[in-house]
Structure 1
Amino acid sequence: MTAYAIAHIRPQTMNEDILTYIETIQSTMDPFGGRFLVHGKEPEVLEGPFPGTVVVIGFPDIERARAWYASEAYQAILPMRTDHIAGEAVLVEGVPADYDASQTAAGLRAEAGL
């Protein structure tokens, strides 16, 4: 099942560490099959405040996403981002191609007795 690393990052002042991080991150993802799906694009905000941008990286599965984040190569460059850019990062597993939200709702209704 595909998994994603998602970051919501706030505006920052560009510096050498951030540029080195951006130049280096792809090489840390390659061994784990990671690739950028969203990077460096301004989001179209539809609801609520949303300062900053979004980064989405796809991985073949959650195990490889976790292994990438924990890898020595990524951990070595991570402070270049976290020391200079405010934000949050999460890993999340995707849903199968045949996912049906109405089935999820039915299960939630049954659990809640509604």
Structure 2
Amino acid sequence: MPKAYWIARMDVRDPDEYAKYVAGTKAAFAKYKAHFLVRGGEFESLEGQERTRNVVIEFPDRETALACYNSPEYQAAKAFRAAASAGELLIVDGYDGPQPGE
């Protein structure tokens, strides 16, 4: 079963409120074995709509990624994110197939 990833692209309007979201997600992310691959950081926008904050979180599989999102712990924190930012969050399955050059 492939790993799954949350891909979030956000424009943060209220950093103080967003900080409450970040603090509130810790329990859910620990419980569901989240692993941050990208968490903010510098970026270059090459195509499409640019967002000010980009995050990629790895989970063991899609079931776990969905369980984290739907958990009471995450849903409580999500209210802070909704008030503080606008953007997109999606879950994508990882790829286990052949790579270029293989």
Q: TM-score, normalised by structure 1?
A: 0.77
Cα displacement (A) at 1:13: 3.0
**86-95 or 4-13: which moved more?**
4-13
Give the whole-Å Cα distance in 1 for the aligned partners of 2:75 and 2:49.
Answer: 30
Considering only aligned residues, what root-mean-square deviation do their CA atoms show, in Å? 1.7
The residue number in structure 2 matching 1:7 is 8
Q: How many residues align?
A: 99
- The one-letter code sitting in structure 1 at the alignment partner of 2:11 is R
Contact 1:62 1:93 in 2 (8 A): yes
Whose Rg is larger?
1
Alignment pair present for 1:99 and 2:98: yes
Structure 1 unaligned residues grouped into runs of 5+: 102-114
Q: TM-score, normalised by structure 2?
A: 0.86
Structure 2 unaligned residues grouped into runs of 5+: none
The residue number in structure 2 matching 1:83 is 83
Cα displacement (A) at 1:46: 2.2
Cα displacement (A) at 1:53: 2.1
SS in 1 for 2:91: strand
The residue number in structure 1 matching 2:50 is 50
The residue number in structure 2 matching 1:23 is 23
Larger relative contact order, structure 1 or 2 (CA cutoff 8 Å, min sep 6): 2
Runs of 4+ in 1 over 3 A off after TM superposition: none
Contact 1:26 1:35 in 2 (8 A): no
Contact 1:8 1:52 in 2 (8 A): yes
Normalized per residue, the structure richer in strand is 2
Normalized per residue, the structure richer in helix is 1
